[in-house]
Amino acid sequence: MKKTATDVLPAEGGLGNDPLLSVEDLHVEFATRAGLVKAVNGVSYTLSAGETLAVLGESGSGKSVTAQAIMGILDMPPARIPKGAIRFQGTDLLKLSEEARTQIRGRRIAMIFQDALSALNPVFTVGWQIGEMFRVHQGMSKRDAEKKAVELMDRVRIPAAKQRVHDFPHQFSGGMRQRIMIAMSIALDPEVLIADEPTTALDVTVQAQIMELLAELQRESNMGLILITHDLGVVADVADKIAVMYGGRIVENAPVHDIYRRPAHPYTKGLLESIPRVDLKGQDLYAIKGLPPNLLDMPTGCAFHPRCPYRQDNCVTSVPELYEIDPNRSSACHYWREVLDGTDE
Amino acid sequence: MSDIRPVGPTRAETEQDAAEQVMTVGVPETPLTVEPERKPGKQARPASLWNDAWYDLRRRPLFVLSAVLIAILLVMAVFPGLFSRVNPMDATTCVLSNARQAPSSVHWFGTDNLGCDVYARTIYGARNSIVVGVSTTIVTALFGGLLGLIAGFKSGATDTVLSRTTEIFFAIPQILGALLILSVFGTGNVWTIMLALSVLAWPMTFRIMRAAVITAKNQDYVIAARALGAGSGRIMFRHILPNAVAPVIVIATINLGGFIAAEAALSFLGVGIQSPDISWGLMIDSARDRFLEAFAPLLFPALFLSITVLAFIMLGDAVRDALDPKLR
């Protein structure tokens, strides 16, 4: 009914068997003064409609850079994508023109950011900013766009939306601002929504509300959701599957239940053990030893080996491939069996 | 804190309401605070950066004083006849035998070397000063601002070429450069002066705009706008420009006073406004030889010049304070 200008692009709803979005062997590097920073080294994942994929990893693991590559908002240069493909319903986004990508951004694939205060333009009202989506992409009149903005603000459960459309971002609380950001991103019913640490800047009670809202919106529209986070607790309830990233690689892929019960990579295991638990009150909290890898000077072999309790000699020399554990799971550890067994109670 | 109760009014909102009340209750009626009547029950429009700045400005004595002075000067420039019944452009009003009279009830500021009324000439001199100041400011703000926006947004080679170009202009002292340009033109009038000053002054606006754009460009909301499908033009003019324009407005206001002073200096040096046209700089120049015999022909245009320049610089200061939230 709408969206007529997307001729070059895959048809709505996808064609046949192609997954909604698949990232294939993606490499991203940054040319810096200090040298070539390899931020993403061969990341692959797929996302189907209605599915939630949580991408988990610490700062510098490449999770946000992967997302920015999907959106096409990396500054190139300094960034470069020497290898890989990002297929959106079968079409490789990396091969499209900038113009075609602008058509996709916001309309088919949208993104929400960590800090909604800085992601909203301070000089315009929230109604203007939400309405901008309709004015830019659909040429809607100012008045209609504002009406739509109020509807969307209702949809993301902002109380008294009608009175508040003319307010500016700084007049909202953190949670409300993130809701506005979400309203903007879902305005055009995108098929894929990428949420880059959507709750990191919020406090715990609000985090739960925002996650709930995202899950609800996803159920309503059957969009694919990529949830980027460093917080294991946030994703447990909403994610279907999890990809754990370390040093620009995916180290473990698994359905959400398996990963919490039986991690198959020492890094994932370390992350899970670092979560404070009530039943272990009084004991020392576990922490993964050492520091995240320096992307300018990656360790040889497995990037995690300097910090790994399961390390053997060959970890230092040979890079582990992603071993398939079962059809839904994989782990990039030579000794995944030992790790799995070690957590088997 | 406010996150715990996302349903109620946020703190910012309550503060806003309080500010709104102060605004409607505590402000005495002055011509500067005329506001459209708010309909009861309708939500008051909340404060944007500009509304905030305006609200803030109206409370600054510095702003009120300079605004009043500038308003008077503008009226003087447009309708000098309102202030003086004598038209100094009419040569018959100058009587040579009245030369160098002291201020009196007939000639409020005395008369000059040719017996012309200094008061009338000072009033009529405002126009040229204001025209040069305002037009130079507009031209430099538009030209320098636009190039600065492009350079800051595009970066890379475009930026390098433009930035190095401005550095060449920075190396030229303003008055000397303008002197050179005007002597090439051969004729000094408001438009050639405007041109000469603009050529030398746009790099300043360029730099400020460029810096502001670079700051704004890397803000999350610009990246977010891109991620939500805004094109380059839209990002540049809708998202970056409104966030980068404040420092340019400030510097433009402050520069305006400087341009007026520069016009007077050029006219004083003989390459600016030419007689029989009237300019404060020209008046000061012609009065300086006989200064010891008659101080009035020099004092009054100099006084008007100083007050005008001061008024614009004070305005610029007030605007800067109002637009820079960190100084609040």
Contact A119 B223 (CB under 8 A): yes
Per the CB < 8 Å rule, is A119 touching B4? no
A254 domain-assigned: no
A273 and A128: one domain?
A: no
Hey, what long-range contacts does B105-108 have (CB within 8 A, 24 or more apart)? none
Query: In percent, how much of chain A has pLDDT > 90?
Result: 0
If one counts the domains in chain A, the total is 2
Asked if the ipTM is above 0.95, the reply is: no
At A65, list the tokens. 């850079």
Interface mutation vs chain B, best among A3, A173, A207, most B CBs within 10 Å:
A173
Q: Out of A123, A163, A175, whose CB is closest to B6?
A: A175
Residue A15 lies in a domain: no
Tell me the Cα Rg of chain B.
Answer: 25
Residues A65 and A158 grouped into a single domain: yes
Three-state SS sequence of B253-271: HHHHHHHHHHHHHHHHCCC
For residue A72, being part of any structural domain is answered with yes
Whether the pLDDT of residue A87 is over 80: the answer is: yes
Q: How far apart are CA A44 and CA A41, in angstroms?
A: 10
Same domain? A126 vs A229: yes
Q: Considering the domain boundaries, does residue A48 fall inside one?
A: yes
Pair (A272, A228) in one structural domain: no
Over the stretch A224-267, which tens digit does the pLDDT of each residue have? 889 888 877 777 778 888 888 888 888 888 888 888 888 888 88
For residue A162, being part of any structural domain is answered with yes
Whole-angstrom distance, CA of residue A62 vs CA of residue A336:
23
CA distance A175 to chain B (A): 6
Task: With CA atoms as reference, report the closest residue to A70 among A190, A194, A185, A182.
Answer: A194
Contacts of B239 in chain A (CB under 8 A): 121
Contacts of A176 in chain B (CB under 8 A): 6, 10
Provide, as residue numbers in chain A, all residues whose Cβ is less than 8 Å from the Cβ of B7: 159
Same domain flag for A276 and A230:
no
pLDDT tens digits, residue range B184-219? Answer: 877 778 888 899 999 999 999 999 999 999 988 888
CB-CB under 8 Å, B46 with A166 = yes
Domain end point (choices A239, A256, A277): A239
> How distant is the Cα of B18 from the closest Cα of chain A, in angstroms?
13
Contact call for B43 and A107, based on CB within 8 A: no
Q: Residue A257: enclosing H or E segment and its boundaries?
A: helix A256-261
Query: Among B155, B228, B328, which would you mutate to test the A interface (most chain A Cβ atoms within 10 Å of its Cβ)?
Result: B228
Say yes or no for a CB contact (<8 Å) between A173 and B6. Answer: yes
CATH number for the domain spanning A47: value is: 3.40.50.300
Residue A287: which region, alpha, beta or left (left: phi > 0; alpha: psi -120 to 50)?
beta
Any domain includes A209: yes
Give Cα B124 to chain centroid, integer Å.
20
Asked if A163 lies within 8 A of B43 by C-beta distance, the reply is yes
pTM of the full predicted structure? 0.72
Least CB–CB distance from A122: residue in B13, B49, B231: B49
Q: Is the distance from CB of B184 to CB of B227 less than 8 angstroms?
A: no
**In the prediction, which pLDDT does A117 show?**
77
Q: Which of B294, B264, B7 is nearest to B125 (CA)?
A: B264
What pLDDT score does B325 carry? 57
Q: Tokens standing for A249?
A: 């690689």
pLDDT one-digit tens code per residue, B103-114 = 887 777 777 777
- Sheet order of strands, A192-196 included: A109-112, A192-196, A224-229, A52-56, A241-246, A249-255, A329-331, A323-326
| Chain A: closest CA distance from residue B221 (Å) | 4
User: Do A225 and A301 belong together in one domain?
Assistant: no
Residues A334 and A192 in one domain: no
pLDDT at B68 > cutoff 90: yes
A5 domain-assigned: no
Strands of A91-92's sheet in order across = A35-47, A21-32, A79-88, A91-92
Question: In the predicted model, what is the mean pLDDT of chain B?
Answer: 79
Q: A167 and B225 in contact by Cβ < 8 A?
A: no
A234/A279 same-domain check: no
Question: Half-sphere exposure of B42 toward its Cβ, with a 13 Å CA cutoff?
Answer: 8
Contact B230 A176 (CB under 8 A): no
B176 Cβ neighbours under 8 A, 6+ residues apart: none
Contacts 24+ apart (CB under 8 A), A202-205: A202/A174, A202/A175, A202/A178, A202/B3, A203/A174, A203/B3, A203/B4, A205/B3, A205/B4
Q: How far apart are CA B38 and CA B17, in angstroms?
A: 14
Q: What is the mean pLDDT of chain A?
A: 81
Task: Please check whether residues A55 and A199 belong to one and the same domain.
Answer: yes
SS3 B80: helix
Does A207 share its domain with A79? yes
When pLDDT is averaged across residues B70-97 and rounded to a whole number, the result is 82
Q: Name the residue range of residue A296's domain.
A: 265-343
Residue A148 lies in a domain: yes
Percent of chain B with pLDDT over 70: 84
Checking if the pLDDT of B161 tops 90, the result is: yes
| Cα diameter, chain B | 85
Residues A234 and A276 in one domain: no
Distance CA A328, CA B122 (A): 89
Residue in A121, A178, A180, A202 to test binding to B, most B beta-carbons within 10 Å: A121
Q: What is the CA radius of gyration of chain A?
A: 21
Those residues of chain B whose CB sits closer than 8 Å to some CB in chain A are: 2-4, 6-7, 10-13, 16, 43, 45-49, 219-221, 223-231, 234, 238-239, 242-243
* Cβ proximity of A18 and A90 under 8 Å: yes
% residues pLDDT > 90 (chain B): 19
> CA-CA distance, A319 to A301, in Å (whole number)?
4
The pLDDT assigned to B162 comes to 92
pLDDT of amino acid B164? 92
A121·B229 Cβ contact <8 A: no
Structure confidence by residue, pLDDT tens digits, A124-166: 888 888 888 888 888 888 888 888 888 888 888 888 878 888 8
Domains of chain B, CATH where assigned: 125-327 (1.10.3720.10)
Q: Examine the domain organization and report whether A188 and A70 are in the same domain.
A: yes
